[in-house]
Structure 1
Amino acid sequence: MGYTRKTCWLKTSLILLISFIACVNVKAQQGDKITVTGSVIDQIGPIAGANIIVKGTADGTITDYNGNFRLVAPKNSTLVISFIGYKAQEVMATTKPLTIKLQDDTELLDEVVVIGYGSMKKEDLTGSVTSVKADEINRGAVTNPQELIQGKVSGVFVQPPSGQPGGASKLRIRSGASLNASNDPLIVVDGVPLANDGAPGMADALGSINPNDIETFTVLKDASATAIYGSRASNGVIMITTKKGGKDKIKVAYNGTFSINDPYKKVKTLSANQFREVATTAFKNTPANEEIINDYLNIFPDQSTNWQDKIFRTAFGTDNNLSLSGTTFNTPYRVSLGYNNEAGTLKRSKYERYTLDMSVNPKFFDDHLSVNINLKGVINDNDFVDAGVVGGAAFFDPTKPVYNESGAYNGYWNWTKPSSPNGDGDVNGEVGVNPVQLLYDQFDNGKTKRSIGNIQFDYKLHPLPELRFNLNLGYDVARGKGDKGPQVGSYMAEKDDLFKGVGRRSHWNNFRRNQLLEFYTSFEKDLDAIQSRINAMMGYSYQHFYYEDYTKNYSPVVAGYPVKQDDAWVLNDAETEYIQEGSYAHPSENYLVSFYGRLNYVFKNRYLLTGTVRRDGSSRFHKDNRWGTFSSVAAAWTITEEAFMKNQDILSNLKLRIGYGATGQQDLGSDFYPYYAAYQESTNQESMYLGEYLLKPGKYNKDLKWETTDTYNLGLDFGFLNNRINGSLEYYKKKTKDLLGVVNVPAGTNFTNRLITNIGKMENKGVEFNLNAVAIQTKDFNW
């Protein structure tokens, strides 16, 4: 079939028509775009680096050094102009040159900061308080919450964990203030103060908090900020607020990190040949040198073992978090599930954590009653290894093999006595254990379950909404259990002098309970007639701590080994088995009762005064010394609010702060009744009399009293370029008196030779400098 003239004409006309329509469409599309030019300024002059974005898109540009910009945008579109420290503005795209004047964003100073028992505007603070938000905290493979603020807050030292998976990070605020009492800061999670010892089987107090659930860290450093916590605050306070549900629709979020840890730096050691050479030289002039060399160095002439390579590995870890948040029936909620699996660089060490975080935050009575319900749960599962294996691998003989030929001691080669090339002779208790066997031939594992929760009612009085009442009921409950011991037939079990070849085992089962009841009332009011603002608060706190440490020691019963039956020692002819040697339960408890108050007064938005007082009672002390009073006073002057600073264009914030306060200390760890004269039951079977355990009087000191720390603080806050550059300079001094210390006492004056008492003083001081800057801010990159 061929083409006709008519057909060709029709096809040619159709192609021309399509081309014309396409051309018109392109011109029409180009016609919908316009070029927008203009400049962005503030009350001082041009703003360089401001963002101009087409609303609803990622298209945009930034202003140059002179504040000018040029942008191609759709006709009738909306442009969003923003820059840090200023309120964002929206303007219509037009061909006429634009001049956009940005206004200061006072919300930077009006930002509300969480403090003890309430919150306060940042501009009204007189103490040293630093708040780190979720978008400012450290990212990456972080498993411990302390690591989130490492390097973020001046005066806060975070020492990384030892390397054990799930290990503890040591946290110090402005160094320690005590000798024998705790130097850990007080940790408050969603209004619940935690015990310093955390929970059994957990590394520290924060071991149960999933870092992905944290919204803000607030660090209270000086006494003006911490004294409201009185007896708990000598070492500073860290307040953690977890994420809550918003008013948005249902939102599902997943966050996952995967990490590889490699022990690329190891202790430099001699190779097997170098070791032989050094040892041969050392024994060169020894009469029995050939015997020593042959019997010890050249047992395995071709053997070369790098023991560090045998115990270390490249470890993999993963942290996963899935959250669901939103609002249902006008009730914000959030549910988060987390799973963390961290293998240690030491073989066989492992850490697993399962977390649950739930919050519901309804409001009633026209938002006058707010109810915050928080629930957190965690399961920690640890496989521990003996940390001594690291040093053992660095010093164990590299000319010896990992395994023996005879299969003795579960197949691991060890030095024996008399020396046996196969490592199957009698145990030599004077030398180290094969590092690989130390890893695999003993077990040490523990599992902890913990739950932290509270329900908080906050009511604003209807006739007077400035007056509010807050009731907080909280708890922290944890139970941990674990087992430890050598494998039967291992070298370690053989080294046990009493139970050779079997070794003894232990089982622990511990319990912690922390109950909280707090009630406070607050009043906040702007008094325009006298250009003042007041914030007053007073309250009551009750906290009960209960501890129970239950330990079982199991001793092996070996055929032919004497055991005690009916108060007589007989030879056992049964097969090897484990019997319970002893069970020790140590229940203890202590109480803290407190009354507290705080007044914050602001005059003309630039003169600030804060005073706090707290009366604490602790069950750790005798009734004559049980109560302590701790107070603080601080003042601040916001210089940039003065009339003579209004016309300057250099400083956007300048505040001078000065404060003094006293805090207390009573945390002596597991010593709950150091003032109480009591008898203790012996746990030593060898000291029994007529089949019964003996009682002995315990040490005590009824004159023990509060350790007190006085803190002085002088600070200067500053900000430039509308706080794009900001920071602080602070000087502090801490003086601790009546230190709780352990001292030697004369024989016969007490039932011990060492006693806890109040003795000595301590002082530490320092200077802190903090500088924050937004160096680069574009639509694609922020630094």
Structure 2
Amino acid sequence: MFCCWIADLQAQQAVTGTITDANGLPIPYVNVVEQGTNNGAISDIDGRYEISIEDVENASLLFSSVGFKKQTIPLNGRNEIDIVMQDDVAALDEVVVVGYGTQQRSDLTGAVASANLEAFKESPNTNIVQSLQGTVPGLNIGQVTSAGATPSISIRGNNTLSGNTNVLIVLDGIQYNGSLSSINPNDIESIDILKDASSTAVYGAQAANGVILITTKSGKRDQKPRITITSSYATQRPSEGIRPAGRAEFIENIRRLSYNEIFTAPEFTTPDPSWPGFFQPGNGIGLIPQFEDPNNPGEFSPIDYDWYDAGTQTGFIQENQISVSGGSDRVSYLLSLGLTEQEGFILNDNFSRKSIRVNVNADATDWWKVGVQTFGSFTNQDGAEPSLYDLFIQPPILSPFDENGELIPSPTGTVRLNPFLSSNIDNYERHDFFFANIFSEIDVPFVEGLSYRINFGNNYRIDKNYQSSIYAAGENGQAYKNIGFYKDFTLDNILTYKRSFGKHNIEATALYGAIERKAEGTNARAEVFDRLTLGYDNLSLGGNQFTGSYANTERLNYQMLRLNYKFDNRYILTGTVRRDGFSGFADNEKTAYFPSGGASWIISNESFLDQSNVINNLKLRVSYGVSGNQTGRYTSLARLITRAAYVFGDGGNPSFGQELSSLANPNLRWERTKGLNIGLDFGLFENRLSGSIDVYNNITEDLLYAVRVPYLTGFDQIQTNLGRIDNNGVEVSLSGDIIRTTDFTWSATANFSLNRNKIVELTGKDEDGDGVEDDLIQDGLFIGRPQGEIYTYEVNGIYQIGEENILDGYLPGHYRVVDQNGDGSIEQMDDRVFIGNTSPNFRASLLNTFTYKNLSLNVFLNSIQGGNGWYMGANDNALYRDANSLRNNIISGVSYWSPTNPDGLNAMSYQTPEGPNGTRYEDRSFVRLQDVSLRYSFNKDLLDKLAIADLSVFVSGKNLATWTDWKGWDPETGQGLTLGGRPVLKGYSLGINLSF
């Protein structure tokens, strides 16, 4: 055996070489395979490779890499082969998911964007959409302030008044109605975003707010089993240093609020020698007895308890992932397991996710494919937080515990409860998610290019929320069990035909599908327990018991036809029509049609640009389409409510009964959004600079809206169609390959988006007879103005001591509310003006990627900008002394007006104004260093010796710095100087990626 082994070694010969691109730069990670065998190697960072070959005379090597054409080179006895790989334009033209199929990006006529997940895969994000924040123009992702939470998602502005505002999520081809927090981000292969009405029209009535298509990972054919392990740990702390005042500042605030008592008039800057002190009779202030030191009468309690510190902690995210993938020539598979543990900054803000995924694809025959994408996710959110508001306002000179270490229900002796009453409880909250998509695809025999695919998708969810508290129900004890079940199924039949005839390419897709959704649940609650030892596990021990239940079902049915035509790889046409039916709409309007069309011209493929050294890719796109928005399941019907409705006898007690609350509307229609999109895609200077520009205009009509009706009719409202909203905007994305040398590269991607929204029509009513349609002022809706308009009282500084012409009802320290009509008083109808708008002026971001040998650095800046009245938010922390102001704590370091601080930012007076208080607004503009990651990949020579396929370590940071003039909590949350606001978290992570 030893002799045979020696002979085999002598027969093996090393073949080496260097792989470069057309510019002479080395290409790393190229697959080098001995053709017809599993013998292979991968080029290193310098483009060098080495592979052992038994028969160098007859063997051939296959070189392949993403973005380059495959090359097969016969050895013919050679031991050194250097090759130059050519760009593969077709490979660079990535395949994107477009709904019920895929297309090459060059064939798109609509606005479809692909997310860059690679640059953010090492960021400490427990939710996949956190990795999309600011990365795609037109896709707006909000901030996260709770463990495991899903941020807000919107695409291209708000198209509705009261209709559905949710973006449609499609997971592996199936509509997904579960929480995105249930999906393991490590399982995601790609995310594509459909933004214009032409591309979203394939989803018809559910796509008015855009579509996000998520595709999960799968194994690769002809690949031996590959085990990948990822582990990381991240810390989390607030990005803002906001805290409640300590003892000394709290007492100083009491003095400030009491300036009219302890200082002499009229300036109130000189101490009043006759003032008897805070705890003496007759001082007029009325501090609660608990504030006084029992061992030192007349003085404040010596306690300095940090309530906020006791209710918070250093948070963390710990993630561990393992996957096994591979395949044969007919089967590919992926199995992944994930465990994510997160503890937020607030006590008991916990999130835990265990997930398992199995994806299998197989060729049963040469013409029949089958597969399944399935996962289970089990989230644990046990525990209840202390009240954040109460953590802030509880006086630091009081303790939450008595001398026996028990919680004091109300430390101040008022209705203000101890914040730890809500966290010192038994809470059980679990959510179990199950998802499966089973498909079968047949290439129809005897009809070239025709295939039939059937998808059966199923979502199932179990929600459990149990809780017991000895402090609830007036400290009589309360316990409850709430359990809910949700399930849906999707059945899609998809027929696809693809053929090429010379210069003509045709693709047709026909769809017939149905969706059914069901939900049910039971709620049980008991109160007044003699003892709560068994908690929520025996509700029968409660003296008062209550039960409730619910159930609902809704169904959708739809058909779609899409035709794509391409001529000579230059001119492309796309047409789509979809018919939707939904059980929730009125009897006369159950179905609707949603057509769309698009065209594109690949200008760079014209003969007059064949020899251009500047323009490598240039495509013009124009599309127009109609998408819809569906109402809630029962809104077209007359609905019943239960309330105190009847009185029997003169002076009798009211009795509860059922009555109609809304009128039925048998003609309630679907909202319709008509969208025009014009786009330009380009690649310049050998594609060193590439990007896209999109301009769009969306018009939404037949808006779903609940119109109020006088209650004397016996009804509150009726759901109807009215009005029109226009959205238009610009989106720009630019990517540059700035520097590319042997050891160092620098690339950058910049994004910009702008959206303008305007209400064009509302009810059409002109009740005052002036010929102008009336605004809905009570709902903040104004004809000719955007949604989010701030219509309120203008504030111009703060009234000062000694100031003349102070309006009646106001005092020094109150905001100076502007008398717009000059009549000497502030009136609701005549003195309100348009202050600004809550919507951003524009959004922008910049991603820089640097590589130096084995090091890779990503730096991502994200920004939302206002200016000129845009992106405004109320940011007021005024203090007006009442029965609670002297008891409540404040935010530390906030600037308040006082006689000794006339330039203070926030109003402060010992008396609430008799007129409107007024509110101070600020610009929320910011620039954020949102993501930074640094990765080191170990050399392949070392890894080969250790029998490791890949090994890298990384460090990353999240929300490391925010530059803004906004005061208080993070500007993106809009909380400002809010008591009990939730912080945006910043953190640092350390992790490892390992593959065998």
Q: TM bucket by the smaller chain? A: 0.7 to 0.9
- The letter for the 1-side match of 2:322 is L
Greater helix fraction, Structure 1 or Structure 2: 1
* CA distance in 2 between partners of 1:79 and 1:598 (Å): 42
Q: CA deviation at 1:772?
A: 2.1
Contact 1:653/1:717 (<8 A) preserved: yes
Contact 1:650/1:721 (<8 A) preserved: yes
- The letter for the 1-side match of 2:323 is S
SS of 2:474's partner is: coil
Would the alpha carbon gap of residues 340 and 539 (structure 1) be closer, same or farther in structure 2, given more than 3 Å must change? same
Contact 2:194/2:200 (<8 A) preserved: yes
Q: CA deviation at 1:613?
A: 0.3
Q: CA deviation at 1:234?
A: 0.5
Match of 1:177 in 2: 159
* CA distance in 2 between partners of 1:225 and 1:782 (Å): 35
Which of the numbers 512, 528, 540 marks the counterpart of 1:540?
A: 512
Contact 2:647/2:653 (<8 A) preserved: no
Matched, 1:233 2:207: yes
Would the alpha carbon gap of residues 726 and 85 (structure 1) be closer, same or farther in structure 2, given more than 3 Å must change? farther
Contact 1:477/1:514 (<8 A) preserved: yes
* CA distance in 2 between partners of 1:358 and 1:349 (Å): 30
Question: Which stretch of structure 1 is more off in the superposition, 290-299 or 654-663?
Answer: 290-299
* CA distance in 2 between partners of 1:293 and 1:214 (Å): 59
Which of the numbers 285, 288, 298 marks the counterpart of 2:292?
A: 298
Matched, 1:780 2:854: yes
- The letter for the 2-side match of 1:181 is G
Which of the numbers 410, 428, 444 marks the counterpart of 1:461?
A: 444
Match of 1:563 in 2: none
Match of 2:347 in 1: 347
SS of 1:212's partner is: helix
Contact 2:400/2:411 (<8 A) preserved: no
Larger Rg: 1
Q: How does 1:130-141 map to 2 (within 5 A)?
A: 130-132=113-115, 135-141=118-124
Q: CA deviation at 1:149?
A: 2.2
Q: CA deviation at 1:468?
A: 0.6
Q: How does 1:111-130 map to 2 (within 5 A)?
A: 111-130=94-113
Match of 1:385 in 2: 384
Deviating above 4 A after TM superposition, structure 1's stretches of 4 or more consecutive aligned residues are 32-37, 39-42, 46-62, 71-86, 88-95, 97-102, 285-288, 678-687, 689-693
* CA distance in 2 between partners of 1:382 and 1:508 (Å): 14
Q: CA deviation at 1:591?
A: 0.9
Match of 1:256 in 2: 231
Would the alpha carbon gap of residues 638 and 328 (structure 1) be closer, same or farther in structure 2, given more than 3 Å must change? closer
Would the alpha carbon gap of residues 434 and 707 (structure 1) be closer, same or farther in structure 2, given more than 3 Å must change? same
1:692-725 Cα offsets, whole Å, 9 max, x none, are 9743234233232101111111111011243343
Matched, 1:696 2:659: yes
Contact 1:228/1:612 (<8 A) preserved: yes
1:515-556 Cα offsets, whole Å, 9 max, x none, are 11110211111110xx11011111111001112132222222
* CA distance in 2 between partners of 1:403 and 1:511 (Å): 40
- The letter for the 2-side match of 1:412 is I
Contact 1:138/1:149 (<8 A) preserved: no
Would the alpha carbon gap of residues 780 and 625 (structure 1) be closer, same or farther in structure 2, given more than 3 Å must change? same
SS of 2:694's partner is: strand
Q: How does 1:497-576 map to 2 (within 5 A)?
A: 499-528=473-502, 531-556=503-528
* CA distance in 2 between partners of 1:332 and 1:79 (Å): 24
Q: CA deviation at 1:137?
A: 4.7
Would the alpha carbon gap of residues 684 and 548 (structure 1) be closer, same or farther in structure 2, given more than 3 Å must change? farther
TM-score, normalised by the number of residues in structure 2: 0.63
1:741-762 Cα offsets, whole Å, 9 max, x none, are 222112344x432333212221
1:22-44 Cα offsets, whole Å, 9 max, x none, are xxxxxxxxxx999999x9774xx
Which of the numbers 390, 402, 408 marks the counterpart of 2:400?
A: 402
Which of the numbers 464, 482, 491 marks the counterpart of 2:465?
A: 482
Contact 2:493/2:513 (<8 A) preserved: yes
* CA distance in 1 between partners of 2:321 and 2:310 (Å): 34
Match of 2:431 in 1: 448
Match of 1:371 in 2: 370
Contact 1:726/1:773 (<8 A) preserved: yes
Aligned residues: 683
- The letter for the 2-side match of 1:756 is Q
Matched, 1:673 2:634: yes
Match of 2:669 in 1: 705
Would the alpha carbon gap of residues 576 and 325 (structure 1) be closer, same or farther in structure 2, given more than 3 Å must change? closer
Contact 1:505/1:555 (<8 A) preserved: yes
Match of 2:419 in 1: 435
Match of 1:267 in 2: 242
Match of 1:26 in 2: none
Match of 1:562 in 2: none
Q: CA deviation at 1:576?
A: 11
1:438-465 Cα offsets, whole Å, 9 max, x none, are 432x444311112111211111112123
SS of 1:742's partner is: strand
Question: Which stretch of structure 1 is more off in the superposition, 175-184 or 605-614?
Answer: 175-184
- The letter for the 2-side match of 1:715 is G
SS of 1:360's partner is: strand
* CA distance in 1 between partners of 2:483 and 2:30 (Å): 60
Contact 1:510/1:548 (<8 A) preserved: yes
Q: CA deviation at 1:284?
A: 2.1
Would the alpha carbon gap of residues 773 and 329 (structure 1) be closer, same or farther in structure 2, given more than 3 Å must change? closer
Contact 2:481/2:524 (<8 A) preserved: yes
* CA distance in 2 between partners of 1:320 and 1:149 (Å): 21
Contact 2:29/2:42 (<8 A) preserved: no
SS of 1:739's partner is: strand
1:154-182 Cα offsets, whole Å, 9 max, x none, are 111111222x2111211111122112222
Q: CA deviation at 1:673?
A: 1.6
Which of the numbers 189, 194, 206 marks the counterpart of 2:176?
A: 194
* CA distance in 1 between partners of 2:418 and 2:84 (Å): 74
Question: Which stretch of structure 1 is more off in the superposition, 217-226 or 246-255?
Answer: 246-255
Would the alpha carbon gap of residues 650 and 761 (structure 1) be closer, same or farther in structure 2, given more than 3 Å must change? same
Q: CA deviation at 1:475?
A: 0.8
* CA distance in 1 between partners of 2:507 and 2:348 (Å): 55
Match of 1:323 in 2: 323
* CA distance in 1 between partners of 2:31 and 2:519 (Å): 61
Match of 2:187 in 1: 213
Root mean square deviation of aligned Cα: 3.8
Match of 2:565 in 1: 601
Contact 2:601/2:619 (<8 A) preserved: yes
Match of 2:907 in 1: none
Match of 1:745 in 2: 709
Contact 2:307/2:396 (<8 A) preserved: yes
- The letter for the 2-side match of 1:393 is L
Q: How does 1:581-660 map to 2 (within 5 A)?
A: 581-660=545-624
SS of 2:388's partner is: helix
- The letter for the 2-side match of 1:252 is I
Would the alpha carbon gap of residues 740 and 294 (structure 1) be closer, same or farther in structure 2, given more than 3 Å must change? closer
Match of 1:11 in 2: none
Which of the numbers 757, 762, 776 marks the counterpart of 2:725?
A: 762
Contact 1:319/1:338 (<8 A) preserved: yes
1:217-257 Cα offsets, whole Å, 9 max, x none, are 11111111110000111111111111112221222221122
Would the alpha carbon gap of residues 660 and 35 (structure 1) be closer, same or farther in structure 2, given more than 3 Å must change? closer
Contact 2:369/2:442 (<8 A) preserved: yes
Q: CA deviation at 1:617?
A: 0.7
* CA distance in 2 between partners of 1:206 and 1:54 (Å): 35
* CA distance in 2 between partners of 1:582 and 1:598 (Å): 53
Contact 1:404/1:413 (<8 A) preserved: no
* CA distance in 1 between partners of 2:351 and 2:29 (Å): 48
TM-score, normalised by the number of residues in structure 1: 0.79
Matched, 1:278 2:253: yes
* CA distance in 1 between partners of 2:29 and 2:475 (Å): 77
Would the alpha carbon gap of residues 444 and 168 (structure 1) be closer, same or farther in structure 2, given more than 3 Å must change? farther
* CA distance in 1 between partners of 2:703 and 2:196 (Å): 19
SS of 2:695's partner is: strand
Contact 1:729/1:770 (<8 A) preserved: yes
Match of 1:313 in 2: 313
Contact 1:50/1:81 (<8 A) preserved: no
Q: CA deviation at 1:774?
A: 3.8
Q: CA deviation at 1:213?
A: 0.8
